[in-house]
Amino acid sequence: QVQLVESGGGLVQAGGSLRLSCAASGRTSSSYVMGWFRQAPGMEREFVAAISSGGTVTYYADSVKGRFTISRDNAKNAVYLQMKSLKPEDTAVYYCAAKHGAAFYKDYTTYALWGRGTQVTVSS
């Protein structure tokens, strides 16, 4: 079983940057499609970005395209989310998740493994 632990969240001013990390432990995570989701208070969990098992294909929500970059280092069992030009509406708890296969990558219900999340707060 793979365990996921997020880090790197915090408080940042609008226009600033943060880099989130997701460390995977346990059985190798290199075969999983990895995703980042976020959830603001009172809102549904929403897709942010995903990356294929080999790291060659990436997917983004329209709201973050051009500002966020997802990457992974399978040698380190890690996935990253570089966030730039942050906006107050990016404020949420950000979760790392893992699944087999890229089908329905935007649907959080298809992800079997989840981290506990890391808070990102963007002040205006």
pLDDT value of position 31: 85
CB atoms within 10 A of CB 24: 24
Return d(Cα 72, Cα 65) in angstroms, integer: 17
- pLDDT of residue 101 exceeding 90, the answer is no
Amino acid at the residue 1: Q
pLDDT, averaged across the chain: 95
pLDDT value of position 29: 66
Return d(Cα 43, Cα 93) in angstroms, integer: 11
